[in-house]
Amino acid sequence: MKLFLTFLLLALSSVAVAQAPLCKEIATELRELRPPLFAGRQRLFEYQQRAGIVYHGLADKIFNSYLARNTKPKDYIACFHLKNLSAQVERLETLLPGAFFYGTIRRLKLSSSATVRLFADDVEKALNSGSITFLDISVPSDSNNGTALKFGGFHRGQNGLYINPNQLPSDQWNLIFFHEFAHALDDSLRNAVEKEAKSPLMPYLERMAKKAVWDNADEEQVRAQILSSFDRGFAAEFRAWIVAASLYYQTEKLPSVEWFEQILQFSPRFEPATEKIVYLFLSPRFVTEPKGVFGDPRIFDIVTNIREGWDEVLPHMGPLKKYITYQN
């Protein structure tokens, strides 16, 4: 017991030591940033400019420290609160999503892979144009319903995303970044979400299940609606993981992510066979049970038919295809 305690204490103190210097350094910089008293407009303006630069620099430091040493932003934030810097911390926190996301983009733009650079450019354009919303980098997880360990998420309705570095080990940051932003750049997903908003699937299927006889047009329409719902669900996940896998292989010096490589069965390179592996991994995790409206044999047949078709020809990548590069 004593041995264990000592070990635990050692482990804890090494964590504290690892981040203490940066916390102290940042705290000092924050404390030195006092607005001038009785200042004229010019000095106030200068102060605000200087403060902006300092705060952005500090947010970058927190990102770099996360990537290099897996230190959690929340540990810094807690440390600044302890040092009575709560007001400054609030401002610093608002800058973290930008520091984390644009910091990643800057790094990816240095890649020797044209595919990775293209992806980084597109993410940057989408963020700048506002077509992707930052939800946050650290949306507080709902610890009551078992999602506490959720690393990131994409909100389909808002086209917004978050990645939570307080939960996500930093060696997986890039992989999750690729996955979530692939969703955000996925036009097929976006179209399907808009379609669902205009004519929701379930009430439509309920109406069709009640209709005694379908003509060809009905069947076509049901098929189109179900396909579109897959574009929000299973097919969207498939595309986002394929993009993530392609970029994962293309990015140099990325730490290996054990669970992901296990899913990919340690494929030495990204090739069409890797796509099939991803498909076979995901497919049994997205099963439609013949219940409710799907208990209607006509509807269930269409679902089965679409799924069986993908066993032969994988779901389309849509415009995300440009981020796929096979290695030979």
Write out the residues near Zn ion by the rule CB under 5 A: 237, 240
**Residue number with CB closer to Zn ion (67 or 184):** 184
**Residue number with CB closer to Zn ion (286 or 326):** 286
CA distances (Å), 284 to each of 234, 260, 278, 292, in order?
10, 17, 11, 20
**Shortest distance, CB of residue 153 to Zn ion, whole angstroms?**
8
**Residue number with CB closer to Zn ion (235 or 240):** 240
Asked if 236 contacts 195 with a C-beta cutoff of 8 angstroms, the reply is no
**Residue number with CB closer to Zn ion (88 or 174):** 174
Nearby residues of 63 by Cβ (< 8 Å), 6 or more positions away: 96, 99, 100, 103
**Residue number with CB closer to Zn ion (237 or 275):** 237
**Shortest distance, CB of residue 69 to Zn ion, whole angstroms?**
28
**Shortest distance, CB of residue 178 to Zn ion, whole angstroms?**
11
| Distance (Å, whole) CA 209 – CA 198 | 20
| Distance (Å, whole) CA 219 – CA 305 | 12
| Distance (Å, whole) CA 43 – CA 52 | 14
**Shortest distance, CB of residue 19 to Zn ion, whole angstroms?**
31
**Residue number with CB closer to Zn ion (71 or 246):** 246
**Shortest distance, CB of residue 237 to Zn ion, whole angstroms?**
5
Asked if 275 contacts 317 with a C-beta cutoff of 8 angstroms, the reply is no
Closest CA to 113 of 272, 255, 247: 247
In the block, tokens 């069965």 appear at 265
**Shortest distance, CB of residue 231 to Zn ion, whole angstroms?**
13
**Shortest distance, CB of residue 51 to Zn ion, whole angstroms?**
38
| Distance (Å, whole) CA 15 – CA 78 | 14
Asked if 67 contacts 173 with a C-beta cutoff of 8 angstroms, the reply is yes
**Residue number with CB closer to Zn ion (93 or 180):** 180
Sequence letter at residue 113: S
| Distance (Å, whole) CA 215 – CA 152 | 44
Closest CA to 170 of 92, 247, 104: 104
Tokens of 168: 């996500």
